[in-house]
Structure 1
């Protein structure tokens, strides 16, 4: 029963983030690209002030997989690197923390592009 509740929390958290994004698309003049950037920045800001961690603990993958989770990961990496390396950690911490995810995205994007024939929609 505990694992089921974990799935429900992830669904509710991720669904709420998607709902906010859909409302922003429907009710504002913001482009999807600006909304995506806003989500990453919101994750960085909320992670930097310590408000995103309780949400990530509660929502699990529903909070860490969306773009706000990427921003939170960047902020968390910078915090950790600054504690370990000082001011130099500001420049290296975010990239180091997100390196595995970025590498996986590039690798699998390359793999899919080699296996399939990408075409333009035009």
Structure 2
């Protein structure tokens, strides 16, 4: 039952974040790229004011998988970098924190490119 509640919380929070994004696409003239950047920036800002960390603790993957979770990852990388290396850590911390995820995205993108067949849209 405990595992079911964890999945339910992740589904509800992740679904709510996706619902907000879909409403922004449907009801505003914002481009998807601007919405995606807005999600990352919102994750950074909410982490800086101390609101996103408790959401991650409560919702788990429902809060870390969406793009706002990437902003959270970058912000926590800055905090950790500053704690370990001082002001220079503000520049290196986000890269260290996000390196694994970025490398996985590049690797899986390469594999998909090698396996998939490219063709024109027409």
**Shorter-chain TM-score category?**
over 0.9
Superposed CA RMSD: 0.8
2:109 is aligned to 109
The number of aligned residues is: 122
**TM-superposed deviation, 1:49:** 1.8
Could you tell which deviates more after superposition, 32-41 or 43-52?
43-52
1:56 is aligned to 56
Q: Distance in 1 between matches of 2:78 and 2:4?
A: 33
| Pairs within 5 Å for 1:1-122 | 1-122=1-122
Structure 1 residues 13-45: Cα deviation after superposition (integer angstroms, max 9, x where no partner): 000000110111111110111000000000011
Q: Distance in 2 between matches of 1:21 and 1:68?
A: 11
**TM-superposed deviation, 1:121:** 2.0
**TM-superposed deviation, 1:119:** 2.5
SS class of match (1:40): helix
- Unpaired stretches in structure 1, ≥5 consecutive residues: none
- Unpaired stretches in structure 2, ≥5 consecutive residues: none
Q: Distance in 2 between matches of 1:120 and 1:59?
A: 41
**TM-superposed deviation, 1:3:** 0.1
**TM-superposed deviation, 1:111:** 0.8
Q: Distance in 2 between matches of 1:85 and 1:121?
A: 49
Q: Distance in 2 between matches of 1:39 and 1:24?
A: 11
SS class of match (2:14): helix
